[in-house]
Chains A and B, each alone.
Chain A
């Protein structure tokens, strides 16, 4: 654990709280009345990653993990909520907690006092009855749940104006798109209010992994979002390795950086292609997709699977990469990155393309901060945090990347950040591939009891996985805090007050995954 130099030690800062130091985080145990003030204080120089809820015999156990904005350590306030007592909402203090509280209310049946919009979030009111709370221990997650649809369900309407109507996009829309619903309330051209309605892809991963052997967790982590499989797998094994205090061999740590950065490059190339597709420019879109195919084939050839499934395991990696293969891979990657940069530069000369992106889909820096945005979307609106720099993992302490930032927060700023990060990623692949340390590719890993927080900087932002294992090595609780969840929360800021012709372009420029957010 590394401490930020100018800050006083935690024991001095909160003398009245009970602190508990874990391997990777510092837990601050508070009561429900002290929680809002503590959260407000932490929010000033740290970012709330999400809420973690666990049920035990006493009642509900809530964790609020915060990661620092500059180099530091994880600070996690923890609260015990006895059964049938009330929990105050902190959404009006840290707005990023809003969706997390709604999710926990739907899945655990806990009421957060003071939150004005609970209900109909994960479990849609048109097909689920009230008060089901599937995350309860007694609820059997393996069997289908018999329910009758509610024929009278109507989504709420916020805009009251003469002639206002709601354009529904979804849940099934477009050609090849993920399913999700956007209700755009408008009187014609301009979107006045929008609320995305997700969890059409809710697979209940957090519930169905309970009771499974710990080794299977990596498979689920990879399939949260197939396009960031490596990053989520890294966060998951990070947590598993912290539980058992396993030391990952240096060669594996270095190669993990290489694969993660390759995935980042590929993901950003896909985002650039999606932006091109949404604006209807077919030549650069097709060039970007060909580039993407090249990267996928490189991943498949050298990593065994086009999306790097089955590559990461607790203790290291499942397959090695020979030094000369690494060199060949990094040379091809450098070529692809160069092609992507040339494509990006050519796009900036196309004024009709820039017209669709500049000053469209703006998220102001203050809003980004108050919503707790993560990843390249936040960095395009002025944020500087990146988990690789503030809480380094794998070999990122030695291979520290620069963090490109923009301040306009519009689609063009996001595109610039994606391109800059893609180049950074290619450079990191280069640096990781040169001077690979020798040694084994994996350490032996055996599950034991414990709980830990694991994290990684996925292409979309900070991904955190919390794992609690039983004494027989089975999963007791698996909680995922995906970056897309926090960023979808702020999507309405980018879509509102712009024409609805800009909507698909704003959607593409955010580069977010629905599958990851819905779990």
Chain B
């Protein structure tokens, strides 16, 4: 608890000191104050995960009861993710914010930044309905302020506004859900809600739908995800990292807290809805990411995809919980929460990298970048680490979490209900397709941005960014590597949370503690010897370096994964190949010359592939889903046959926006216009309105 208090105080200190430090020094203090705040949050979270946790009751408000703050293991996990992002982003911010010094107020940004950190912390520790809602609204408004920082740009203002509007629409649903729960239990305290009597099925469904779709807006799930690709690119890179890496998680936090903890889902259908919504979000997100050329928009779409994957894991967990399979539910929760932490890290890394590219090259358009690896080798290497992580390639952290997600989907064969199995099969297929497209999307992002020839002057003149920015990114990349190589330790940390939510020892099933073999049958342990589970037994702390799970009676196989060994093997192979090639070419001369380009006079960058060209096949294949508008082509024709210019414009927007939200917004606008006719300025009519409403109120009050 002390750690959290220190965290809040440091945030307050930072926000208060920002105007004092002024335009020249405000941003330079961010790594120190923000870093210390992050460390204190991390300390508190780590202590809680190890077996701590605290609760504090503040003053009481009728009829909601006392305002309570508590940090339990679930909140601590989210706080851990938040702290692991805050620290590198704060280190990065010092040099990054310099570019805004000319036009905008740096103290304002810094103050809002600390306030956002504090509000995120408060949302996670809120342990009753009222404090949660207060913290939630605070966090929404503050994130709007940080998105709208570059207010001189109209696009950014619109983006922020759309985000706020969507957030508030979601908030309405959240308020309804939480108030309903509070009314049912009689008080707002989460502990009381948890232990209240189970309500009727219809009530539970209403709470589930309201809370899922309400929090789903904040998490960027289908169908209300179109604010994300607008808002995240509009923010500064460090703010985008916060938005994608931490604030999206809060949506998932809300879903898990309400439907996994406070009012645990009882039937299978809610879980299947979550599963299907998650998989549709994933596939749509990655499709738009693959065909998007703006680097930050592409990362925003990819966040939608990852949130979808997390929702898939959560949905599977809900289904397994309702089907009384606690071990499987545990695995699914572990997969989802692990993916959540991983996503926070690698998405922040990618956004910080995009910010570095934007600062150095002056553009975010992949069609105008290229060849940056020569001038910016560090940024390229760190961005590559992020890209490998998000594409779920070992030895980085995307691999174990995606493996576990797919694994938990595959385990659905052990269920008996046919509808459920079909839904899982569909979700599994969509997730698999998503994984392939994610690889395409990030090959395109890395390749078009860093490799090849520079396609614009900005890219040609780029220089490597400052050490502070590189350090921030390096911290995140190191985190990605460490989390990828030690999955069994992460799983052990998640095990208590999973047990609490799903109800049984998932961790024991996933990482056999060979240091306590009496808990497991001897032949079982012996099987694992062949898979290397015993390696490092005397040196490493339990539970070992191999992730394994044994199937059930109807499915007697062992699923195992050892990213640590894989990383060592990869390193060894690379070294071996390097050695062999040095030996083999010892006595050869080396010449370097021009690349063969078919005898061209000069190889220009416009002869090389652009990002649009690279992703065109995906655009063409998925045309029915993407439903882009047909290109508008203008030709300049001189003298009947000679075409001297062909001009082509294509506009891509979310099909869902065009078909659903735009008509809805237009309808709401017309309705508002109609209502506005009430405001015609005639005093006599206004008095009449007042009289009519008073009469109505009296009539209603007397008849009730």
Contact = CB atoms under 8 A, between A and B. Distances in A.
Interface of A: 91-92, 95, 98, 114, 116-117, 126, 149, 151, 153-154, 157-173, 179, 185-189, 192-193, 370
Contacts of B646: 158-161, 185, 192-193
Interface in B555-598: 597-598
A233 B602 CA distance: 39
Given A163-B367, A165-B609, A192-B646, A95 B616 contact: no
B616 A162 contact: no
A162 B367 contact: yes
A188 B607 contact: no
Nearest to B608: A165
Contacts, number: 101
Contacts of B198: none
A189 B616 contact: yes
A161 B599 contact: no
A422 B58 CA distance: 98
A116 B638 contact: yes
B599 A171 contact: yes
Interface in B586-639: 597-602, 604, 606-617, 619-620, 631, 638-639
A267 to B, nearest CB: 28
B638 A171 contact: no
B370 to A, nearest CB: 11
A157 B606 contact: yes
If over half of B's interface residues share one DSSP class (helix, strand or loop), that class is named, otherwise mixed; here it is: mixed
Contacts of B617: 188-189
B604 A154 contact: yes
30 contacts: A95-B640, A95-B641, A116-B639, A116-B642, A116-B644, A126-B601, A149-B601, A154-B602, A158-B643, A158-B644, A159-B645, A159-B647, A160-B645, A162-B649, A163-B610, A163-B612, A163-B613, A164-B612, A164-B648, A165-B606, A168-B597, A168-B607, A169-B598, A185-B646, A187-B612, A187-B648, A188-B617, A193-B643, A193-B646, A370-B641
Nearest to A492: B643
B interface bracket (residues with beta carbon within 8 Å of A): 35 or more
A116 B299 CA distance: 46
Contacts of B648: 159-161, 164, 187, 192
B367 A170 contact: no
A92 B612 contact: no
A426 B619 CA distance: 50
Nearest to A371: B641
Given A162-B612, A168-B600, A170-B599, 9 more contacts: A126-B601, A153-B602, A160-B646, A161-B648, A163-B612, A165-B610, A168-B598, A171-B598, A172-B599
A87 B197 CA distance: 98
B152 interface: no
Nearest to A160: B647
Contacts of A165: 606-610, 613
B456 to A, nearest CB: 13
Contacts of A151: 602
Nearest to B615: A188
Contacts of A114: 639
B408 interface: no
A162 B456 CA distance: 13
B458 to A, nearest CB: 16
Contacts of A186: 613
B650 interface: yes
A161 B634 CA distance: 10
Nearest to A124: B601
B293 interface: yes
B609 A161 contact: no
Contacts of A98: 641
B341 to A, nearest CB: 35
Contacts of B601: 126, 149, 153
A116 B613 CA distance: 30
A167 B610 CA distance: 11
A141 B183 CA distance: 101
Contacts of A157: 606
A162 B639 contact: no
B620 A189 contact: yes
Nearest to A163: B612
A179 B606 CA distance: 22
A187 B640 contact: no
Given A91-B639, A172-B599, A158 B645 contact: yes
Nearest to B367: A163
Contact of A162 (B293, B602, B606, B615): B293
Given A170-B599, A171-B599, A188-B619, A117 B642 contact: yes
Contacts of B620: 188-189
Contact of A173 (B598, B602, B649): B598
A116 to B, nearest CB: 5
Contacts of A95: 640-641
